[in-house]
Each structure stands twice: as C-alpha cells, then as structure tokens.
Homo-oligomer: A and B are copies of this chain.
Amino acid sequence: MATQEDVARLAGVSFITVSRVINSKDNVKEETKKRVLKAIKELNYYPNSLGRALNNNRVFTLGAVSPLFQGYSLESDLYFAKILSGIEKMCFEKGYDLLISTKRQSSKDFNYFRLFYQRKVDGIIFMGANLTSHHIEEIKNNHIPCCIISDNPNSSAIGYIDADNKNGTKEAVIRLLNLGHKKIAFLGITEKNQNIEERYKSFIATLKEHQIPFPKSYLILGDYSEQSGEQAIEYLCKLKNKPTALFCSTDSMAYGALKGAKKRRIKVPDQLSIIGFDGFEIGKYIDPDLATVKQPLNDMGYKAAQMLIERIEQPDQSKEKQLSFAKVIFPVIQVEGRSIGTYKGIDQ
C-alpha cells in the first residue's frame, strides 16, 4: 500500500509536502499541489490512520457499547439498532467511524473503557450498560469522553440523553382518563430500572392529580417478557375489582397482554384498554394495533454522538470545560392505536 513517501517520490517533492496537501494547509504552491494530488490518485494512496492517530492523538472513531448483540429479544434488538442508527448518522456527518462493542451479561469482567485506553476510539456512548458510580469516577479521573443514553449518571462529567418518561407517561395516562377510565392498572418490572421507576412515579402522580384511586392490587410486576404480559392478564382476571385499562411500562409486555386478552376472550379495547411504552413498529402488526408512547431513539442517538464529538473536539481541555456536558431530555410521541378506547362493560 502506498505511503506518503511513495507519493512524494512520484510527485518529485518531499513527503512533508504531501502531508500538507492532505491536510489542506495553505502553504503549498497551487502547481505543486496539483502534482501531488495527481500522484495520490495514481497510486490510490490513502493516509494511514494509524500513523496519523499516533501523532494527533485522535482516531476519529466513536465507540458504542450496548447489549445489542446479545439478542435478548426482538424489542431490545430494535431498541438498540434505532439508537445506533442515530449515532451512525452523526458520525457519518462529522467524519467519524463507529466501533460497536457488546456488553455481555455473562462476562463479569467486561472492560468498559478498553477501547478508549487502547486508543481505538476517542469517546464512548453507553446504552443499557449499567454504569456504576465507580465507573463514573474512572471517567472523571481519566477524562474519558462519554455519553450515556437513558440511564441518568447524575454527573456532569458524562453526557446524558434520555426520553421524557415523566411527561410521556403523564400524557398517556391522560389519554386513558379522557376515554373515561377510572380503574387503571400498572404493569411494571421487578428488576430495578430508573426509566420504569420514573414511569411508575409519573403514573401515580398523574392519577393523584386527577383524584383517581390506585389500589395496591393494580400494581403488577413483570420482567419485560411477553409472558409476563400474559400473566398480568391472568392475574387481572382473578381480581374482584377489575381495572378497565392496563398501562404497560414496556411495549414487549403490552404485546403479551394483548395476546393474553385474546386467549381469555377479553375484548380489547371494549372490555380492557391496553397501552404500551417504547413505540416499536411491531405494534402496528398486532390486531388491534397497540397504542403506545414512542421514544425518539434515532434522535437520541444522533444527539448523543453530537455531544460526544463536540466534547472530543473541544480545544480547551481545562477542568471546568470538561464538566460542561449537557443533559438533554427528548419529548416523546403519543402513538395512536386501537388497543385503547372507552369501556363498554363485560356483558356484551
């Protein structure tokens, strides 16, 4: 593969002139430049990014860490793919490449920052990675440019992007209230999860605001899976005081709930309204199609990459500036669907 030296020889200049042309410095005579450019083309020369990076300490590559490739479920695949799509778009626009890395649930000793320490990437975007305060410390101490999506790091040393779970939930609940529902159950998850907790809190707060009671029996806990959605329906069937609507904290569980309702011959939405949260297009394929709350995952990834690149390219690396990371909360979109409607009673 051709090097600067080869190009220089062919063009009859020194290699440093070639370097100047490549980096479009202005102190090269127009004619020399042309000669060099011609030689570059002739030799199919590409600057070796390694030599380059070794010098300016910049590889023009971002890292994206996610559990994407574990293939937990269709939904998680889509979730991370959408975010990655946004990240990739910004990378493309800014001339960065994108390295993806998988946090495997199994390997306890996953090294979160290896790619950075090895100088394979200039910064890292984390999603679903469960950073601990210990990790945040490491980021601070070693000035690792990082951005996290959908999991508040509570530190200005790291960028933070999220969807507006609070308002998204509130508006979704209001949709149900406007349809006349007064008995709404909530399907959350057992596992600790900031986002779902936020949704739950907002759910409760909104009910309270509208003086709607929430009996303890209306709180159900699942595990993201479809099965847990089905089980939720089984559980509701056993209740004496049955709810007329079910707020599922994730789409995946909502799919299960719809399935469970079909099995039990519960008419959706006449006898039970079901609403989800996440906004995967899968909902469109189901009958009735799922009403849900859509996170702008693409935009979130796009913005995360933008923040990160800005931080990386920030010339002033003083301590103060390093703490200037922004926090961006994206509004969510209420998605229409025939899985919610007015309650028409059980005896149809």
Contacts and interface: CB of A to CB of B under 8 A. Distances in A.
A247 to B, nearest CB: 20
Contact of A54 (B50, B77, B97): B50
Interface string A180-210: 0000000000000000000000000000000
A1 interface: yes
A142 B43 CA distance: 12
A101 interface: yes
Nearest to A141: B44
Given A97-B101, A97-B120, A71 B285 contact: no
Contacts of A100: 84, 88, 98-100
B97 A68 contact: no
Interface of A is mostly: helix
Given A71-B298, A287-B287, A48 B119 contact: yes
How many copies of this chain sit in the oligomeric assembly?
Answer: 2
B117 A44 contact: yes
A50 to B, nearest CB: 5
Interface string A102-119: 101000000000110111
Contact of A49 (B81, B120, B281, B298): B120
A255 interface: yes
A53 interface: yes
Contacts of A255: 285
B49 A71 contact: no
Contacts of A114: 46
A50 B119 contact: yes
Contacts of A98: 99-101
A118 B46 contact: yes
Interface residues of A, number: 47
A92 interface: yes
A78 interface: yes
Interface in A113-151: 114-115, 117-120, 142
Contacts of A285: 255, 282, 285-286
A166 interface: no
Interface in A276-330: 281-282, 285-287, 298
A78 B71 contact: no
B102 A92 contact: yes
Given A97-B115, A99-B99, A115-B97, A68 B47 contact: no
26 contacts: A44-B142, A46-B117, A46-B118, A47-B118, A48-B54, A48-B119, A49-B120, A54-B54, A68-B85, A69-B89, A71-B82, A71-B85, A71-B298, A74-B78, A77-B81, A77-B82, A81-B81, A92-B102, A92-B104, A97-B99, A97-B101, A98-B101, A99-B99, A262-B287, A286-B286, A286-B287
The 4 closest A-B CB pairs, nearest first, are: A46-B117, A69-B85, A49-B118, A69-B88
